[in-house]
Structure 1
Amino acid sequence: MNIHDKGFTLIEVLVSIVFLGIIMIIFSSFFINSIKIIDVSGNINEGINAVRGNLNEIIAAEANNDDDSITIIFNEGKSDEITLTVNGTEITQSVNYKKANGEDGIISLNYFKAVIEE
């Protein structure tokens, strides 16, 4: 073999192909995990949007009644303590979604619709 020959030997080409293959396998695992995370995030967002839509329909259709109440205490235990109680209806909606490990998860949203006296 002449020392002035230019180019790569078969061994050098095979070693570089194996090396690139190993690097591609390592990076592909990152991409696969990213795709799973994006899929789960999409499932969660779809669930939240479904719950919000359901809540909006219920809120628009439901008559105000005072089945529930929320009490807020400002400056509790002090001389200028103020207690505020609001009557209304608590509405809860839930939806299932798929987690990354394939298990079912639950998304719940609560809404308090206050009664406004006229």
Structure 2
Amino acid sequence: MIAGLPMYERPELFQAHDNLWQLIHKQIDGSPQKLSRNVALWDLWTSPELLLAQTCSSPYRESLFKNTIYVGTPDYKLPNCPPGYYNSIIIGQSGLSFSQLKTGILVITINFLILVGLHQ
């Protein structure tokens, strides 16, 4: 399985993304220990090995919805941007079952500089 948060994969966010992934990884049995980096966006999003990935809402609305599932929308707590307005989304492989989640619900809150939450 592979997972990636490529939409804002900038050096200053690497640690925040890694920390977020570790929280998710602990909740999903069999998930990869590390995020896949340096994978072309469409290769990641359409991989048969995809567990979770981040995409903009436009590629999801235009094509990815056919072969992936909507998992949630990150809330970056951006100034002057109400929750749910900013539309980067988390997707998973179509047919993926989240019954393997230990908590039964994916709600993660993180108090980092920028990456603040992911809500299902």
Q: TM-score, normalised by structure 1?
A: 0.23
Higher helix share: 1
The structure whose residues are more often strand, as a share, is: 1
TM-score normalised per structure 2? 0.23
Larger Rg: 1
